[in-house]
Amino acid sequence: MSQYLARRIASFVAMIAVAVIATFIANRFVPGDPVLVMLGDQSSNLDLAARLRADYGLDLPLHEQFVRYVTGLLRGDLGLSFRFPGVPVGEVIADGLRISPVIGLAALVLSLTLGTLLGAIAAVRAGSLVDTGLMFVVVIGLSVPGFVVATGLVWLLSVRLGWLPVAGWGTPQQAILPIIVAAIGPIAYFARLTRTFLLETLGQDYVRTARAKGVPERGVVLHHALRNATVPLLTVAGIMMGGLITGTIVVENIFNIQGLGRIAVTSIAARDYPVTMGIVLLFTLFYGTINLLVDIAYVLVDPRIRLAVS
Amino acid sequence: MVVFIVLVAVFAHWLAPHSYTRTDLFMSWSLPDARYLLGGDAVGRDILSRLLVGAQVSLTIAFSVLTIVLIVGTVLGTIAGWHGGWADGLITRATDLTLAFPELIIAIIVAAIMGPGVPAVIVALSLVGWTGIARIVRSLTLSLRNEAFVEAAMAAGTRPAAIIVFHLLPNMVPALVVRATAGIGFIIMEEATLSFLGLGVQEPQPTWGGMIRDGLPALRTEPWMAMAASAALAFTIVGFNLFGDGLRDALDPRGARR
Amino acid sequence: MSDPVLTLDRVSRDYVRAGRRLAAVDEVDLVVHRGKTLGIVGESGCGKSTLARLALHLVPPSSGRVLREGQDIARLDAGALRRLRARMQIVFQDPNASLNPRWRVGAIIAEPLRAQGWSRQKRLDRVSEVLDLVGLPQDAVDRLPSAFSGGQKQRIGIARALAPEPDLLICDEAVSALDASIQAQILNLLTDLQARLGLTMVFISHNLAVVRHVSQRVAVMYLGRIVELASEADLFDRPQHPYTRTLIAAVPEPGRPLQAGSVRGEPPDALAPPSGCHFHPRCPLAQNICRRISPPLIEAASGHLASCHFPGASAS
Amino acid sequence: MTIPVDLHEALTIEDLRVGIGRGRDRVELLDGISLSLRRGEILALVGESGSGKSMTALAAARLLPPGAELGARRLVVGGADVASAGGAALDRIRGKSFGFVFQEPMTSLNPLLTIGEQIAEPIRLHLHLDRAATRSRVIDLLGAVGFPAASTRLDDYPHQLSGGQRQRAMIAMAIACNPPFLFADEPTTALDVTTQAQVLTLLRSLCRERGMGMLLITHDLGVVSAVADRVAVMYAGRIVETGPAAAVLAAPHHPYADALRRALPRVSAKVARLEALEGQPPSPRAFPTGCRFHPRCARATARCRTSVPALVPSGLRTVACFNPIAETKETAP
């Protein structure tokens, strides 16, 4: 068990390291001189250029830049923005940090609960009309990108019916559509996998054993099948986070919400690499942490890993 | 459905009633009429023509990515599964590491480094996609090489290269075909998402994702473009996904219950 | 007792499981004589299947030598090894798994011939010959394995093994997956073929009755070691090792009372085998010496080898 | 509906039929199976793969996979009428009126639950004991099935046990509520021969001590002779011969039972050549007309091809054959 966890933590660290190196490279080896971009029409002001170069550490040898970058990261310092010269990245993304986790976590909770529920219903009623209907909706949910669904929902609920605001952030009404849209893909994905894994466990020999013992159908599904289906579901729950991050970025852009995703996209357009890469690092850290937690949960659920001889 | 989409994409330029780049400011946000069957966009280009050419762009990207990931994934997966040892360790670690990043984050890094555009989309999606194929091929290789018929081939004196080509690969084809078809839908969806975010295909090349983005602000008054592009996108992805499901059920009777 | 076709000289094969060394086959000495059948019997995990793979050089030994007619297989170059493969073939347990489901039967049977570089015409002729030999119809060549029943598939597997005219045939649980009535058909086919073709056979099985039926000599394996080796009649009628006696007594058979009283415990974890004689924790005869010293495989009676400090002694 | 129940009766199956599919795809897997067992008695149901022996046990326990249709004139297991029971009523019968031991102890035990939890489950459901009483009963059960140091093994997971121990745990679970009847479907097929001997001995003594009837499904005539009082031989979805195990194994009357016996190599003596039965068991999709064994039978006559022989009593035996091997009347032992 400790060996298993050590391996997981090692791969988490490796992932963060790769992310740090990749973002450093992206920051430093981009086409064009960021200082010239920042200078704008003052491009002839060599003093200012030299000062900016020093502020951003661009005058240092590459390895020192890297050391400075890494030590900065360890202190939580993501560097300075290009677009807003002299402004720390942390300040640029501060608003986003308050918004994106709300959307992401709400969508996460929604997709886990609703996805499991719908998948379980479909599996228990496999082959019935309910199942067929649910799975049809799921295929649509999986196939149609979030922004397409959002376009349709905005048009229907906001434009036509005027029930919900078209865009923005701040009121609960404004939060409803973004969260639903961000969750739709993951809900469909999770429902489909729950159904698949539950059907698989329902066909296992030990489920037949439970029936032979006189365990009522509810107990068979909940205590034996669903519990065992949790093991493979956990492994994909981590991967599903990727979909949630995509969903969050997409809805922020649709609904013009100044979250991390929206800032990341505008920063790319503005060639503000430190901000983009800071956000990339945050998402990576979040994703890695969730996956690490999933791996730990995996250990708690499955005694075959927990009790493996190391 | 799939055949129809592919035909449309191949003959897009021939089918398109107008040039997809020709602007006509008189037709800006024009309603659908006899000339522009689906209306015009903000700068008065024919939406239908742009939709058709957009299909070609999407499918070209999808099939390029698919070809790249199939080749890279199969080669690396086979090496990892068959050779084992350090090669396996290296390749497995590389796939795990790639999978440790959310797809869109990889795309953002690539777009940031390469600058947005078709090449960046292809590189980003290939970078994401090869891992899935490599994983499947590796696990198939591992399980197939333990099959008694592979051992029988070794006992018969068949060379390893021949065993891989004649015994392993044919037994992988069904799984790979199913995976590839499902992959097309996924790649189209990812490409559209990138283009929607402005990280993918750039103007003046038409793309469904970009058309939806451009149509979004006008949703209240002129929903034609966003709606038409959404419908085309949904139709295509659902089509490929249903095709993939059908193929899986046909090729693998065991997984027929989905 | 001359003319050894295959000799195993202190052959071991280790695997590493969970960081520990597992001796699947542990310093085994064995000689297989021409035209005879050597049976190898033992419970699951005793190393008998690994032994088959070692004999065919499908896995290399960790130590020791596998000699084919006096020549060390490990020292052969790739070409010589491939030529040798034609002369030693294997029949597997599961006829479903050992035939590639996507190949036609003709191609399956011809595979060893193709590997030997036979011409197409010679391959076709030989396939037709061996189909007759194993009692399959000629039109089988164009069909897929799925068109055949379990017993017929096993005939296909035997045909493939016989195609390159081997002199050594290794059967690894070759009838274990078959129903009783089919099992008898295949056993009869194998014994007939051996007589007709003068084959040397190594017959590996967990089924004692089947091993007794086909073998002239029999080896009993326990946790990677051979614990007893004798002629079929000596071994089954006058077993010297207490484990062999335990095994024989445990086989239920019509008209014979089941003697479960003599059986204790289950085979131990191969990752942590008991000290000394591996069998001592389950042995009714175990003394102190058995816990400390591993008994060598020596002659306990004329031509009858047993690895026991007290061979032939009875528990009472 | 009340059905008169003989207190000594452990199992009564009358005219059991199982089929799957509809119309042209309809396949009859079991064709009129009738069996009865008294408490304390062990009946072995023997046959080759596809003969329907496992299907018979699953059908009688109402554990058939979805899609299989069951019909029976009478189906009483452990004193409970299972033919008409459904839903909650069936849940109250299973585990209480009968236990079921499956072939693969590894896959038939839930890998995520300790064996203690799994053995306690039927006790909790049927006997409603409190925690402490349940626990001590589980420990008793583990002891009864031969677990050394039972109280320390309670919290073990299946993957920590050996094959033989897993099957012992499975047996403890099946007999947890002291049912009058036990199904055992190839309970030792996945085990090594020395472990098999131990488990068979255990099953036999449990039946004797607890007055429990047992239907033992097996393909191995040796297992039959080791534990069974009576035997029923199945071929292609029908029973072809029943009778006292020793007598049937020594001198079968049905040609198929005889062929099965003769095809068997022995560990106690070597025969020059096995008397192999040619051909192979038919698929349920293509069962022959008349007696289903006639294409492989040396004694077959024209009548065997057209009419189905009924199971006819002959002393303590019943045989379904127009040309049985011996007609000698037996006397009760």
Q: pLDDT by residue (tens digit) across C173-203?
A: 999 888 888 999 999 999 999 999 999 999 9
Please name the member of B155, B162, B170 whose beta carbon is closest to the beta carbon of C85. Answer: B155
Q: With respect to residue A161, please indicate whether it lies within any of the assigned structural domains.
A: yes
What is residue D45's three-state secondary structure?
A: strand
> Looking at chain C, which subunits does it touch, using at least 3 CB pairs closer than 8 Å as the criterion?
A, B, D
Q: Is C207 left (phi over 0), alpha (psi -120 to 50) or beta?
A: beta
CB contact under 8 A, C266 and D196: no
Q: How close does chain A come to D143, measured CA to CA in Å?
A: 20
What DSSP string describes chain A?
-HHHHHHHHHHHHHHHHHHHHHHHHHHHS-SS-HHHHHHGGGTT-HHHHHHHHHHTTTTS-HHHHHHHHHHHHHTT---B-TTTTT-BHHHHTHHHHHHHHHHHHHHHHHHHHHHHHHHHHHHHTTTSHHHHHHHHHHHHHHHS-HHHHHHHHIIIIIIIS--S-SS-SSSHHHHHHHHHHHHHHHHHHHHHHHHHHHHHHHTSHHHHHHHHTT--HHHIIIIIIIHHHHHHHHHHHHHHHHHHHHHHHHHHHHTT--SHHHHHHHHHHTT-HHHHHHHHHHHHHHHHHHHHHHHHHHHHH-HHHHT---
List of domains in chain C:
4-99+166-306 (3.40.50.300)
- Best of A82, A132, A147 to substitute, by most chain B Cβ atoms within 10 angstroms, is A147
Q: Average pLDDT for residues A34-55, to the nearest whole number?
A: 74
Query: Does a structural domain hold residue D157?
Result: yes
Two tokens at B95?
């796939």
What's the distance, CA C52 to chain centroid?
A: 6
**β-pairing verdict for C63-68 and C71-72:** antiparallel
| Contact residues for C59 (Cβ-Cβ < 8 A; gap 6+) | C13, C50, C53
Rounded CA gap, A201 and D83, in Å? 27
- Chain A residues close to C18, C-beta within 8 Å: 308-310
Cβ-based contacts of D275 with chain C (< 8 Å): 184
Query: Which partners does chain D have (≥3 C-beta pairs < 8 Å)?
Result: A, C
- Cα–Cα distance measured from residue D80 to residue D3, given in angstroms and rounded to the nearest whole number: 9
Do both A77 and A107 map to the same domain? Answer: no
Q: d(Cα D217, Cα B200) in Å, to the nearest integer?
A: 65
Query: Is there a single domain that holds both residue A114 and residue A204?
Result: yes
Within an 8 Å CB–CB cutoff, is residue A204 touching chain D?
yes
CB contacts under 8 A, C 237-256 vs D, are: 246-256
Does residue D125 lie in a domain region? yes
Determine contact, residues A121/A130, Cβ cutoff 8 Å.
yes
Residues A90 and A106 in one domain: no
Q: How many CB atoms lie within 10 A of CB A62?
A: 10
* A82 within a domain of the structure (yes/no): yes
Residue A127 to residue A133: CA distance in whole angstroms: 10
Flag whether A170 is in a domain.
yes
**Peptide bond between residue D179 and the one before it cis (omega within 30 degrees of 0):** no
- Per residue in C151-171, pLDDT (tens digit) is 999 999 999 999 999 999 999
Provide the domain count of chain D.
1
Q: Which residues contact B154 (CB under 8 A, 6 or more apart)?
A: B163, C58
Q: Which residue has the tokens 């000599």?
A: C217
Question: Mutate which of C253, C263, C271, C282 to disrupt the D interface (most D C-beta within 10 Å)?
Answer: C253
Q: Where are the alpha helices (DSSP H) in chain D?
A: 53-60, 87-93, 105-108, 115-122, 131-144, 150-153, 163-174, 193-210, 221-227, 245-250, 255-262, 302-306
Counting Cα atoms < 13 Å in the Cβ hemisphere of A262 gives 22
Domain-ending residue, one of A94, A126, A150: A94
Q: Which domain holds residue A241?
A: 100-257
Residues A104 and A71 occupy one common structural domain? no
DSSP readout, D111-152? TTS-HHHHHHHHIIIII---HHHHHHHHHHHHHHTT-TTHHH
Q: Which residue has the higher pLDDT, C25 or A91?
A: C25
Alpha carbon C130 to chain centroid distance? Answer: 23
**Structural domain includes residue D162:** yes
| Shortest CA gap D325–chain A (Å) | 40
Task: Give the domain-ending residue among A94, A120, A139.
Answer: A94
Would you give per-residue pLDDT tens digits along chain C (316 residues)?
468 899 999 999 998 876 778 889 999 999 999 999 999 999 988 999 999 999 999 999 999 999 998 889 999 998 899 999 999 999 998 888 899 998 999 999 999 999 999 999 999 999 999 999 999 999 999 999 999 988 999 999 999 999 999 999 999 999 988 888 899 999 999 999 999 999 999 999 999 999 999 999 999 999 999 999 999 999 999 999 999 999 998 999 888 777 666 667 777 877 888 889 999 998 888 899 999 999 999 998 888 999 999 987 765 4
Tokens at B101, concatenated: 């990043």
Cα(D62)–Cα(A50) distance, rounded to whole angstroms? 85
Of the listed ranges A6-10, A274-278, B19-23, D67-71, the least confidently predicted one is B19-23
Task: Provide, as residue numbers in chain C, all residues whose Cβ is less than 8 Å from the Cβ of D221.
Answer: 180, 253-254
Q: Which residue has the tokens 């080749």?
A: B71
CB of D153 less than 8 A from some CB of A: no
A121 and A157 assigned to the same domain: yes
Question: What's the pTM value of the predicted model, to 2 decimals?
Answer: 0.86
Listed in sequence order, the residues at least 6 apart from A5 whose beta carbon sits closer than 8 Å to its beta carbon are A295, A296, A299
- How far apart CA D316 and CA D290 sit, in angstroms, is 25
Work out whether strand D230-235 and strand C168-172 pair parallel, antiparallel, or are unpaired: unpaired
| A268 inside domain | no
Give the neighbor-by-neighbor strand order of the sheet with C4-17: C20-33, C4-17, C63-68, C71-72
The residue out of A66, A94, A122 marking a domain boundary is: A94
The tally of domains found in chain A comes to: 2
Q: Domain check: are A7 and A56 in the same one?
A: yes
Looking at the structure, tell me whether residues A222 and A127 fall in a common domain: yes
C-beta of residue B55 within 8 angstroms of C-beta of residue B12:
yes
State the best of D55, D77, D91 to mutate against chain A, taking most chain A CBs within 10 Å.
Answer: D91
Q: Determine, yes or no, domain membership for A267.
A: no
The stretch D31-60 carries a mean pLDDT of: 93
Neighbours of chain B (3+ CB pairs under 8 A): A, C
CB-CB neighbours of D14 under 10 Å: 15
d(CA A215, CA D177): 13
Mean of the per-residue pLDDT values of chain A: 82
Contact A166 B238 (CB under 8 A): no
Distance from CA of D98 to the nearest CA of A (A): 9
- D102 in Cβ contact with D109 (< 8 Å): no
Instruction: Identify any residues that bridge with C226 across adjacent strands, giving them in sequence order.
Output: C221
D228 falls within a domain: no
Question: What band does B209 get if pLDDT is binned at 50, 70 and 90?
Answer: confident
Asked if B102 and A145 come within 8 Å (Cβ–Cβ), the reply is no
Contacts of A305 in chain C (CB under 8 A): none
User: Rounded to the nearest 5°, which phi and psi values hold at D34?
Assistant: -130, 130
Q: Which of A18, A135, A143 sits opposite B185 (nearest CB)?
A: A143
Q: How far apart are the first and last CA of chain D?
A: 38
How close, in Å, is residue B11 to chain C by CA atoms?
37
Q: Is residue A262 part of a domain?
A: no
All residues at 6 or more sequence positions from D259 whose CB lies less than 8 Å from its CB, including other chains: C181, D275, D277, D296
A205 and A225 both lie in a single domain:
yes
**Does residue A248 share a domain with residue A107?**
yes
Parent domain of D127: 104-178
Q: What is the CATH number of the domain that holds A227?
A: 1.10.3720.10
| A294 is a domain residue | no
Mean pLDDT, residues D311-320 taken together:
92
Residues A131 and A88 in one domain: no
Q: Tokens 């199945």, residue?
A: D234
**Which tens digit of pLDDT belongs to each residue from C198-243?**
999 999 999 999 999 999 999 999 999 999 999 999 999 999 999 9
Neighbours of A300 (CB within 10 A): 10
CA dihedral of D265, D267, D270, D276, whole degrees rounded to 10:
0
Report the candidate in D14, D125, D5 with the shortest Cα–Cα distance to residue D60.
D14
**What pLDDT, in 10s, does the model give residues D126-163?**
999 999 999 999 999 999 998 878 888 889 999 889 88
Comparing CA positions, the residue from B62, B97, B43, B86 lying closest to residue B211 is B43
Q: Which residue of D has its CA nearest to A209?
A: D108
In a domain, D48, yes or no: no
Per DSSP (E only), the strands in C34-137 are 37-41, 63-68, 71-72, 88-91
Domain-located, residue D150: yes
Distance from CA of A310 to the nearest CA of C (A): 7
Whether A58 and A172 map to the same domain: the answer is no
Determine the Cα–Cα distance for residues A228 and D147; give it in Å rounded to an integer: 27
Q: Is D121 on the interface with A (CB under 8 A)?
A: yes
State the helix-helix crossing angle for A129-143 and B224-251, rounded to 10 degrees. Answer: 120
Residue pair D59/D100 in contact by the 8 Å Cβ criterion: no
Query: ipTM of the predicted structure?
Result: 0.83
For D277, which residue in chain C has the nearest alpha carbon? C181
Indicate yes or no: CB of D200 within 8 angstroms of CB of C258.
yes
With touching defined as 3 or more inter-chain CB pairs under 8 Å, the answer for chains B and D is no
Contact D157 A304 (CB under 8 A): yes
d(CA A191, CA A113): 9
Mark yes or no for CB contact D102/A304 under 8 Å: no
Is A19 in the same domain as A104?
no
Round to whole Å and give the CA distance between C157 and C31: 26
Please report residues of B whose CB lies closer than 8 A to that of C56: 155
- Residue D118 CA to residue A210 CA, distance in Å, equals 9
Contact B219 A154 (CB under 8 A): yes
Alpha-carbon distance of C85 to C161, in angstroms, equals: 10
Cβ of residue C1 closer than 8 Å to a chain D Cβ: no
